[in-house]
Structure 1
């Protein structure tokens, strides 16, 4: 049993309201438009239920949807003109909020029950629901929501109030102009802050109060519990496709952060390794008598201080990497779960009358009478079973279709990952070759010192004087510096590899001259 029977209310600030959105709210569509909209797998507009849609007029009464001659966007502009609302210049990057777009709803099963009672509703695409009639309870609920809006914002500011019964769950679209009083002039004007707060914290407090008020005035009368408020947070209500896209984007960002942290850690480890080599070199110079004990102790203290600093940074990056890896694992699991979710079979309600024997048993010919009654009961029973089979067969076909779409998406991502994996493998082989060359050069003390000297100069953006080893000539190495879009770790690694190639060239030149 579903105990999560809550009301739902979503409000969005609108800087404008276009014709397309207005036509959707009022269903000003022809048959071709409806068919095109339903080609999107996330849409489901039931043409056989559109006649059940309705709206509440300014007098609080029920009318057919789209009964007003003036379209919704025209009525909105007329109300804005009455309030002397002026948008900013067309080339302005920001525009003021001129309307509030509400969506009211609730628990799927409960709202369907309010709309259609115990009637059988077939929610599959292309299903025939022409047998349905609208129940009075959904009209009463809509009227109460309208009165709630009118008490808060004024009837004259409710531009549209449409109730849709042709989608998966019954819901209400309401378009409201927020009106406040200017402190100095005392006249009415369009003022978002007067109804929804001056910042997101005040908005969160107001929205929390709105949920409570809606429950007390409306929801409690229809068995709908208080909805969850957002407390000032930016909450988005996404369909499955947008939710998967959002999770995938967050997973890619987390993966990028993990790679960045790993790169930083490799750089820090390289720094620590280089300073330890410098410490070993200083110990050798002390043993050979090239430096005094005081100078050695000073160098040792400086190097150990640098090693400690980089070690602290490395430990910090390690902790952050662990957190990001856990986040990436969670997001990856959420994406997989979201893609693999298939809607469960619905518990369909099938209306039928149990077969009953109404004829009296004859005095003669009872065998034929029993046979006739059995045939009649078997016929009715078969019709009921066939109807149930049809309902669940449609559910199974829907699940298979959803699974096939998931497989196609997964295959596309697999193909893309294979291409990215090949590219990374090629890059890894190239870097591994350069790394082996670099490690071989670092084994020679003179070359190692030259590499670090050149790399430090390159990172600092300084020209690099390089001795040819013979005639004492020098050459300033031109360097293009760090690229605008290049991360610091990647730039340092490029400097080190470039310095390695320079050192290799100088070494060959030295051997040729000697």
Structure 2
């Protein structure tokens, strides 16, 4: 019986569409909203928001991060009044904050504080699932996400501008347009997104992060965050982005994922602190080396002057000695002059010895400082590389863990719906990886893990011991040289599915 002729055909058609959205696309199109508090926006943060970088900084950013300079021309900002324009780099975000506070007659509460920890700014990152954001930003154009790729022919689509304007309007209505000090849309990274900086100004024109964003209690903060997700989803739904579940709602179910993210985030924070400490040490060493060079130059000049003076006095002494040999009448006066000259020469020689010893110490100090600087520079580069890897690890691990958090729900929902189909309809899914994962997911995943780690023999043995068909069609199995983790993981999953299929016994004819 054909699927279109079954009495459950409509139900099955809807489910197949659901299947295509979730499984073939790999994920639902969800909105992403992240809020972080800040005591201000540093120059480095502002430069990143505005892409206010020189060639050297761009080269470093592309090497260590996921930036594509050939797409940087597609970035834009939403200015006052909801106007789409090129990013204005004439003022930093920090300067914009200062101007806004001045217009309100307010001082930055962190000014003059040794520990600048008063929260005066909310930093939002707003986006969504990569596939949907790419559709909004680039339409049907193919963007090459490999490092060093040339995407200069890519043009920006109007959909991303309309989405950004609607989000800008939402932020303006919620917290006041005058309090938006930066609203930047980045299309030159892996996933298009918004960076939005908002000052927490109360109705009484006071700065209060707690009142505007945080709430007076944990419960109030919880309610504010839930309402933020729900309210923004009304805007995002128009652009094919669903609300998604907040960690506040899912609670303990996603706590391990969130804790893992925080652990990785802490790793990055520690690395950033190490980088900052390294930079401070370098700055201090640079100052010390500058002083040491001045000291060395001063001592060298002093030694040169003393040696010239010593040479002049030695010449004068030789003249006086020649006069003694000529039996000069003023012998006693000449001897007195010679005595004074010898005393002065001895004093100068002592000074020269002293200054040369100090010069040697200064040169040794300078060599040590230069060696320390060279060492700190190497350490700084290593820390930067480690930090870049940690950031990449956060992104990769969150993606994997989010996938693991949603897959069981997909399997459970599929199992529930599958049980409601009649036998004919249900047979449509026989042999599919989706159905087998719902029924035998743990074993397939374990087999895939062995394959991913390169243990083919162990994977085959495990499959056979678990009732699978084993490695009848493994062929020349292995990872290709140019295969990334995602491609390799996908092939391992498909191979594990094949290995775990039960052996089909062929009955012999009698």
Report TM bin, short chain: 0.3 to 0.5
Q: TM (normalized to structure 1)? A: 0.45
Q: TM (normalized to structure 2)? A: 0.45
